[in-house]
Amino acid sequence: MKFEVTAQDANARRGRLTTRRGVIETPVFMPVGTAGTVKGVDPKELAESGYGIVLGNTYHLMLRPGVEVVAAHGGLHGFMGWEGSILTDSGGYQVFSLAPLRKLTDDGVIFQSHIDGSRYELTPEKAVEIQEALGADIMMVLDECPPHDAGESHHREACRRTTRWAERCLEARTGAGGALFGIVQGGVSRDLRLEHLETIAEMPFEGLALGGLSVGEGPQRMAEIVSAVGPQMPSTRPRYLMGVGLPQDIIRAVSGGMDMFDCVVPTRNARNGQLFTRDGPIQIRHAAHTKDTNPVEPGCTCPACTRFSRAYLRHLYLSNEILGARLNTLHNLHFYARLLEDIRRAIDSGGYAAWASRTLQRLEGQVISKKV
C-alpha cells in the first residue's frame, strides 16, 4: 500500500491511497458491506456511483457463511463479485458490543454467537488469520473498544490491552494479507488519546485509526477529540476515523486532518426512508411528498432522481416495496460520493474552511439520526 498527500489546506488533507486493487482518492467514504454485500446494491452499481473501496465485517463473515466458504471463492472479492479494494474490521467492535455474551482476557475474547449461541474465541492472531483468508486489502488490528462513559482506569487498561494486541497482530502477519492499520483508543480524554497515539505510531503500521468514537459521547465532544488528536497523527500515513459517517461529522473531521470514514448511516437510513440532500435530510414517508412530482434533489444524477418522483418513492416506501429501499440506498450513496468529491475539490482549491462553513450552515439544525 502507498499513500501520498497531494494537497493540504490548514489541517484538511487531500491524498491518494494506492492498494493492490487500485487508486483511491482521499478523503474517502467507505460503504459498509457487513455480510459481504452493501445491502440492496449490486457491486457494479457501487462502482458506478464512484466508490473504489468498501468495508467488510470480520465478525459476521466468520459466523456466517464461515471463512472457509469465502476462501473457497478466492477471498471476499470473488465471493461478493467486487473488483475494488476492501477494508475489513477485526471484529472487535461487534464482539465488545455483545457484552453479556463475551468474556475478555489478555489472550483475546471468548464469545457466543448472536445467531445460535455457538462458542467462539477471537485472538489477535486469529483476527489477522481470518482477514488474510478473506483477502482484505486493508486489515485492522484487534482492539478493545470500551463504552464512552467508562472510567479513566477502564480506558487506560483498554489502551494497554490494545497496544499488546497490536504487537501480536504485527507478529501474526504472514505477508499474504494487505496493509495493517493500528488503532488508537483513549475515550474522550485528550491526554490519554495522545499518549496512546505516541505508542501506536511507533509501530510499523501502514495506517492509523481512531477507534471508540461515535459511541454516544456526542458530536461536539467527538469533534474536540478529533481536532486535538488528528493533526498529531503521522502525516505520511492515512488517518481513519472508524464508524463515523454523518455529513456534519465528516466535514468537521476532515478539518481535523482525517482521511478515511465508514458508517452504516447512508444505507441504513435509506432503508428507513431518510434521504440526504444538500439542504439536509428529508423523510420520504411524510405526507408532504404524497403528490410531489419533483425528484428528491434537483440536479442529482442518481437513478432515483433521474427517473422517479418523491411521490413515487413515498408510495414504494409505504408499500414496503424492495425497489424503494434500493432506490433510496442508491440516492444516499450517490449523495455521499458527491459530498466527498466536493470536499476534495474544496481542499484542492485552498478554500476548504469557507466551503465547510457554508455547508455546515445549510445543515445546521437538521435532525440526522444514526438510528432512524
All domains of the chain in start order, with CATH: 2-263 (3.20.20.105), 272-362 (no CATH)
| 23-34: pLDDT as tens digits | 999 999 999 999
Q: Which residues pair with 180 in a beta bridge?
A: 139
CA distance 22 to 44: 16
- Check if 292 is active-site: no
Task: Tell me which of 113 and 1 has the higher pLDDT.
Answer: 1
Q: What is the mean pLDDT of the chain?
A: 95
Which pTM was predicted?
Answer: 0.96
> Does the annotation count 259 as an active-site position?
no
What pLDDT is stored for residue 370 in this prediction? 47
Percentage of the chain exceeding pLDDT 70: 97
Which residue out of 89, 137, 143, 249 is catalytically annotated?
89
Question: How would residue 366 be classed by pLDDT, with cut points 50, 70 and 90?
Answer: low
Res. 367 pLDDT band, cuts 50 70 90: very low
Through-space distance between the first and last CA atoms of the chain, rounded to whole angstroms? 36
- Cis omega before residue 65 (within 30°)? yes
Query: Is the pLDDT reported for residue 100 higher than 90?
Result: no
Residues in the chain: 372
Is 368 in a helix, a strand, or coil? coil
How many other CB atoms sit within 10 Å of the CB of residue 216? 10
To which residue does cell 440506498 refer? 329
- The confidence score (pLDDT) of residue 175 equals 85
317-350 pLDDT per residue, tens: 999 999 999 999 999 999 999 999 999 999 999 9
Alpha helices in the chain (DSSP H): 43-48, 58-63, 67-71, 76-80, 92-96, 124-134, 152-172, 190-201, 219-229, 247-255, 265-271, 303-307, 310-318, 322-349, 352-363
Catalytic residue among 143, 259, 262, 342: 262
Identify the pLDDT of residue 113.
86
Secondary structure (3-state) at 289: helix
pLDDT digits (tens, 9 = 90+) for 294-323: 999 999 999 999 999 999 999 999 999 999
Compute the average pLDDT of residues 258-281: 97
User: What's the CA gap between 324 and 333, in Å, rounded?
Assistant: 14
Q: Which among 313, 353, 319, 315 has a CA at the least distance from the CA of 332? A: 313
Residue 148 banded pLDDT, cuts 50, 70, 90: confident
